[in-house]
Amino acid sequence: MIPSRVAAARRGIVRRDDGGGLRRAADAGAVIRIIVRQVGPPARRLVIDRERVMAMMALNVAAELEALTEYWSPRVIGRVNDQYVKVAKVKGELAWHRHEEEDELFHVVRGRLRIQFEGGREIVLDEGGFAVVPKGVLHNPVAEEECWIVLIETVTTRHTGDVDTPFTRTIEQQLGR
């Protein structure tokens, strides 16, 4: 594939228009049409959705985190079977919440994350540390200073679990749609 088109497709900014050319897409979740050039036979066309393009790309987690501008606003950067791989910058408190049906993995890339649990228990994750919060467990992530994290969550996981807050993001928002 043509690297520049693949990179543009990964960012969700290219799609085929009605005239057969490629143009910028206002909707990052749009279906992407990539032309693969071959020697000999005519070019063949592949229709690839954004998630499949992400699955075929090498990503730099630090670069993906660097690009984020809002705290507590996760961005999906990949999918492994029924799990989303997300990145987020966090600072302050999110909210006490639980995910009744899904486990949630937190991995700290930069900074320090404290996860509070019901009953006064808490864990602290430094750079490189990770923890899994089991389904149904009431928890509250807290970062005193800016912290960069990777989250691995089932695709059905609501961002703030069983509560709605000003930080709550839909999966469409997390996918960049």
The pair of structure tokens assigned to 137 is 């467990």
CB 102 within 8 A of CB 135: yes
Task: Give me the CATH topology for the region 61-175.
Answer: Jelly Rolls (2.60.120)
Residue type, 98: R
How many residues would you count in the chain? 177
| pLDDT the model gives residue 166 | 85
| pLDDT the model gives residue 136 | 96
The domain segmentation of the chain, as residue ranges, is 3-55, 61-175
| pLDDT the model gives residue 176 | 84
- Any alpha helices (H) in 38-132, and if so which ranges? 50-55, 61-66
| pLDDT the model gives residue 161 | 85
Task: Between 69 and 51, name the one with better pLDDT.
Answer: 69
* Cα 130–chain centre separation: 17
